[in-house]
Each structure stands twice: as C-alpha cells, then as structure tokens.
Structure 1
Amino acid sequence: MTGIEISPFIAKLPKAELHMHLEGSLEPETLIKLAEHNGIRLPYADANAVRQAYRFDSLQSFLDLFYLGLTVLQKGSDFYEMTSAYFARAARENVRHAEVFISPQAHLRRGIPIAEVMDNILAAIDDAKSRHGMTGGLIVGIQRQFDESDALDMIKAVRPWRDRIVGLGMGGPELGNPPSKFTRAYDIARCDCGWHTMAHAGEEGGADYVRDALHTLKCERIDHGVRAESDPDLMRELAERGIPLTVCPMSNCMLNVFPDMASHNIRRLHEAGLCITVNSDDPPYFGAYINANFAAIQAALGFSDTDIWQMARNGFTSAFISDAQRQRYLDEIDAHRPATA
C-alpha cells in the first residue's frame, strides 16, 4: 500500500493478527516462482501482471483470483514456504501472535495429500517461534460454496491433527450460503473436536448472516461483521457479550463493501463499544499488511493512538491462547499504553 505513513507508535505496537488467509498471503513474485517450478500455467506473464489483476468489483471477483492463485501450491515445501514467509513478514510488523486460516477443501479437491498441507504449515508455525519469537494457531476453514457433506469430509481428513488446530472457520461467497447451512459441521467441531469457532459473516451478507453465525453456529468470533450495524439489537448483543469482530479495513474497501476508507464504519463500531480487532485478510491482494491497515484507519477516520492501542489490545484478549500466554502479551502491550489511555 502506498501513500500512508506508518507512525512509529503503530510500528512498535505489539499486535495479534486473527484474520489472515495463508493462501492469500502469496506475494506475486512467489506465485510466479511456484507456478514455474511446478509447471502451472497462469494467465500472467510476470509479477507485475499479477498485481495489475488486483482490481476487484466484488467478493467473487477476488475469490476467482484467490482460487486460481492457490493452484501453484503443489508440494509440501510450497506450503512451508508460504507459511514461513507470512510469519517472517508479520514479525517485521511486530505481530506477536497470529491465527491463520487454511482452506483444506481447495487442496483436497486438487488431490494434494492432506499430510503435505498440514505437516508443513504446522512445521513453519513451530519454526516461527524459534526464529521470530512468535506464536501461532491454525484455523481450518470451510468453503461455504460446497455442501455440508464436503465440509464434513474435510473435518474428517484433518482430524489426525485435531490437537494442533485451534478452530473452525468459514469463508467463500456468502450470498446464498448462510451459516446455518453448516450447523452439523460446527457442532462436530465444537463438541467432538474441541475447537473454537468463527465464521465470515456480514461482509457480503447482511446482519442476518451475523446473527445466524452467532446464534445457530454459536460462533465465538465473527470475521468481518461490519454489516451488523444495520441491526441495533444485534449491535447491542455483540457489545454486551464482547463478541470480537475481526475487521479487515483495506479488504473491505478493495472489495467495495465501502467505497473508501473515510466511509468505513469501523469507528462507529468501536465507539458503540464492540470488541474490534484490525487484520489484513489477504495482504498482497489488498495492498496492506496489518500496520498499513492500522495506519489507513487512523489517517482516514481520525483514530487516536489510544484507540489504536485498544484495538490492538483487543487482538490479544480475543485470541485463542492460554490465560498465561495472554497475560504475557497483555503485559507487553500495556507497556506501550499511550500516556492519555
């Protein structure tokens, strides 16, 4: 992202990232390199051509490119490289903990052995701790455009790694695919696997999708959730229950959820008392890693450093980590508390 200056305060602030898709973290140069190494034909001559394709008019237009891009992932080493690269970049932005999504169905349906996917991603997350002092968690995401039986097959496939998975999420095109479509899958994830739960809702779909994810799927976090604002009762419930929203400001603008950052409702959500976190979603596609997302909302919407600090702190209070680990991170971010906070 260009044109936004990242302040020293934002740069130094410890952060947790809770909404980032590993397949969406592939930089254009990496896409081209892996395509060449793996004999995958992409309709782009070079990395610059890939960047030129980052012009989206809807969620679906992004997803079309996202699903095309992930086809370059063919070997276990590709999944390791992808994950390792994200954690190295996040560490440079002072991300201390990251919970990242993977879309196993997209790889299972291509015939990629699931062990190649899971073992290499988890190895890279483990290595991030020794290399960067970071911790991480892996979330498996349902692709909601497929039916529930496909989701159940995915959960069965990843069960051998049950104890290394922190949660079940859901992505893909919202419209026509309400959260209630996957009630059984979420019951199994929560009750049988012991996973935390979240779902993308209220990005493309309306407030009713947020309510469905909250009440039908019993989600602990809502990914995006910005359209909840149209339902005052839902807003009150989200605030009273402290349900975190993992908001991705640049993603929302790039996908025309809002026409520009000045129109984004994240300030109103924050001032309404909701637990708002700031995240990057698919950073190369949307032109901004986490620091630039914080800087963009501060520049466009006048957030104070105290506001930025509070939303960064919310990331740690909303993370799926142990109480002891959470306290260590809270102690770290509290040491960066602005004088006016």
Structure 2
Amino acid sequence: MIDFDRIRPDRLPALLRAMPKAELHIHIEGSLEPELIFKLAERNGVKLAYPSVEALRAAYAFTDLQSFLDIYYAGASVLLKEQDFFDMAWAYFEKAAADNVVHAELFFDPQTHTERGVPMGTVIRGLEHACRRAHAEMGISASLILCFLRHLSEDAAMATLEEALPYRQHFIGVGLDSSERGHPPEKFARVFARCRELGLRIVAHAGEEGPPEYIRSALDVLKVERIDHGVRCVEDPALVRRLAAERMPLTVCPLSNVKLCVFKTLADHNLPALLKAGLVATINSDDPAYFGGYMNDNFVQTFAALPQWGAREAWQLAHNSFEASFVPEAAKQAWVRQLDQVFAAAAV
C-alpha cells in the first residue's frame, strides 16, 4: 500500500510530471502548433489568413466551442500529404513522451480532410506511421479513433465509415465530436449501430456544452464505452449515480473547459466533485495547441488551482486513465505497477 500522507506537498508538481499516464482525449489536429501550421503552409503552398505565427496565436481567444472550431478547421487546411499527417502526430508524440504519457488514443477527423479532397488513405497512413514509429522509438503505446463530425449529416458519417473500412486494421474505434449544441447523439444512431457490428470501440463527446440528456443518449442509444467531457452530468444526480455504478469513464479536459468558458477558472472546475462521487474521471489535453497546454500542463495547473488535492488524487487520476484505456488487461496492470513504483519512491 502506498502511504500517500508521506508524500510532501512540495513534491507534488514533480510527481505529476513523472508519473506514467494515458491520454484518452486528444484531437490530433488540435495539437497542430502555429509554427508547424506555417511550416506546412509554406511547404504546400497554402495561403493563410494570418500574416504571422504571432497573429495566429493571438486569435486563440475563444468565447465558445464554435469560435474555436472556426480557427481549428482553418488550421487543418495545411494538411494535404501523408507526410503532413505524420509530422503533426510525431510532434505530438515528442511532447507526450516528455510528459511521461505511456499510452495515447488519438482522435482524428477524416471529414475535415476528405471534404477538402484529401484521400482517406493519406490521412490514416500518415497517422498510423507516426503511431508505429512512436512505439518503436519512444515506447509509447498508441492507437487511433476515427471521429464523425456531428454538425454534418449521419449519411455523411456513414459514407466516411465505409471509406475508412479498407484501413480498418489501423483504427480501434469511433467517436463523435465537433459542435455539440443542436446535434444530439441519437442523430447518429444508425452509423454507431453499424460500428458496433464491426467490433469497433465506441466513444462520444457529450455533456460539454450539451445537456445531461446528451450523456444519457450517448449511453442508451450509441452504447458508448466512454464519455468524452461529460462534466455537465453533475446537473443530474441520478445520472451521476449511474455513471459511478457502471464505471463509465469521463475524459475530462480542464484547460480546454476554461478556454471554452465551460468553467470560469480551474478553481471552479467540478473535477473534485466528479472524483468524490466515485466517477472514473481522467485528465486530458483535448486540443493542446489551442488551449494552452499538453498533459503535464493540465495536471500541474489543475492541481495548483485545487489546493485540497494531493498525491492520492494524482494517483487516482492516473490509475483511472489506465482503467479507461482500450488495451488488454495485462498492459493496464503493467502501467499500474509503474505508477505504484513512482509513488512509492516519493513516499519516503
């Protein structure tokens, strides 16, 4: 047993950085830093609406999810070739390795690219190559989750799925992202039923800007195995009890929630309430290039804003990330042993 009380508070920031962790809510297009956007734009002859890296970064003042998405899709316009997708993912993996992320499940939005004429194979091959190389060279376990854009139609999602099936061996599951308001999960009931038939893992964004009812719909209609965000569940106590009883993971993104005005500050975040309710809450970076931080930034800044939290909560969040991951049980247990070793070494 780890004696959490013996871990001094001043050691906590270093411990948060050093502990192994899994990232389960990362939009790989959202890791595209302005410097790389400009590099790829020059390489591919794409004209940007911003004159400089500084001007683009200055535009990252979002009032809600849609104001972010407008810039997000503009940034993705520079991604045209397989090498571009590789370079983007590789840049993320370098940061993930530095943050002691041992496993990452990367969301990608093929419709953002195929609608611009980029072939599905170009997108998936570039990302898969980066995942393979990250495992070989950095020891990071990585997999891909194909996300449907919920502001588009279900027919478009179904067509995207069929287009991706020749590359089925390269992605483990499907998700649902983009504008939440006005696009409830049940809009995509048929395509998710098809995905379940194919044996794909199922996740969906719900309860970020959308109401708790969207979380229920994701559970009951889409039959998800994880809820991405899910922070508005606290508005429905019965739903909170259900999520806890079913050990349904929530992939929470603190810096993203503040940047998109879901919470005013990190100190206002309801993560403490989620953990106290026994939910399998995790910390993730979402779109780190746009929201001001990768995994360790999210951990360190969140804990700094929540002085009531200590080593016990840090261990629980990392443990939850492994429990919620889509990997064999043996891999989860190996990572938990690593986690325990790091905390045991700090408790001296």
TM-score by length of 2: 0.94
Post-superposition CA distance 1:245-283 (Å, at most 9, x none): 000000000000011111111111111110010000010
Task: Choose the corresponding residue for 2:207, options 202, 210, 228.
Answer: 202
Task: Choose the corresponding residue for 1:296, options 284, 301, 306.
Answer: 301
Q: Following the alignment from structure 2 to structure 1, what is the Cα–Cα distance between the partners of residues 161 and 340?
A: 38
Query: Is residue 2:53 matched to residue 1:77?
Result: no
Shift of 1:333: 1.2
Post-superposition CA distance 1:69-120 (Å, at most 9, x none): 0000011100010011111110010000000000011111111011111111
Aligned-residue identity in percent: 45
Shift of 1:167: 0.9
Query: Is residue 2:97 matched to residue 1:91?
Result: yes
Q: Following the alignment from structure 2 to structure 1, what is the Cα–Cα distance between the partners of residues 324 and 172?
A: 13
* Structure 1: runs of 5+ lacking an equivalent: none
Q: Following the alignment from structure 1 to structure 2, what is the Cα–Cα distance between the partners of residues 76 and 186?
A: 28
Shift of 1:6: 8.0
Task: Choose the corresponding residue for 2:69, options 63, 68, 81.
Answer: 63
2:205 maps to amino acid: H
CA contact (8 A) 1:15 1:316 kept: yes
Task: Choose the corresponding residue for 2:123, options 92, 117, 126.
Answer: 117
SS in 1 for 2:250: strand
Cross-structure match for 1:327: 333
Cross-structure match for 1:168: 174
**CA-based RMSD:** 1.3
Cross-structure match for 2:237: 232
* Structure 2: runs of 5+ lacking an equivalent: 1-10
Post-superposition CA distance 1:146-187 (Å, at most 9, x none): 010000001001111212211110101011100000001111
Greater Cα offset, 321-330 or 241-250: 321-330
Q: Following the alignment from structure 1 to structure 2, what is the Cα–Cα distance between the partners of residues 324 and 236?
A: 29
CA contact (8 A) 1:278 1:294 kept: yes
Q: How many residues align?
A: 335
Cross-structure match for 2:312: 306
Cross-structure match for 2:4: none
Question: 1:15-34 counterparts in 2 under 5 A?
Answer: 15-34=21-40
Q: Residues 40, 102 of structure 1: CA spacing in aligned structure 2 closer, same or farther, 3 A cutoff?
A: same
Post-superposition CA distance 1:1-22 (Å, at most 9, x none): xxxx981101110010000001
CA contact (8 A) 1:253 1:260 kept: yes
Q: Following the alignment from structure 2 to structure 1, what is the Cα–Cα distance between the partners of residues 283 and 24?
A: 8
Q: Following the alignment from structure 1 to structure 2, what is the Cα–Cα distance between the partners of residues 6 and 122?
A: 35
CA contact (8 A) 1:6 1:292 kept: no
1:218 maps to amino acid: K
1:252 maps to amino acid: N
2:287 maps to amino acid: D
2:208 maps to amino acid: E
Greater Cα offset, 39-48 or 182-191: 39-48
Cross-structure match for 1:264: 269
SS in 1 for 2:222: coil
Q: Following the alignment from structure 2 to structure 1, what is the Cα–Cα distance between the partners of residues 214 and 301?
A: 27
Task: Choose the corresponding residue for 1:241, options 238, 246, 254.
Answer: 246
Task: Choose the corresponding residue for 2:259, options 243, 254, 257.
Answer: 254
Post-superposition CA distance 1:222-246 (Å, at most 9, x none): 0000001000000000001100000
CA contact (8 A) 2:134 2:141 kept: yes
SS in 2 for 1:7: helix
Cross-structure match for 2:46: 40
Shift of 1:143: 0.1
SS in 2 for 1:42: coil
SS in 2 for 1:336: helix
Cross-structure match for 1:132: 138
Task: Choose the corresponding residue for 1:146, options 152, 156, 161.
Answer: 152
Task: Choose the corresponding residue for 2:14, options 8, 11, 29.
Answer: 8
Shift of 1:44: 1.1
Cross-structure match for 2:286: 281
1:167 maps to amino acid: G
1:208 maps to amino acid: E
CA contact (8 A) 2:12 2:311 kept: no
1:294 maps to amino acid: F
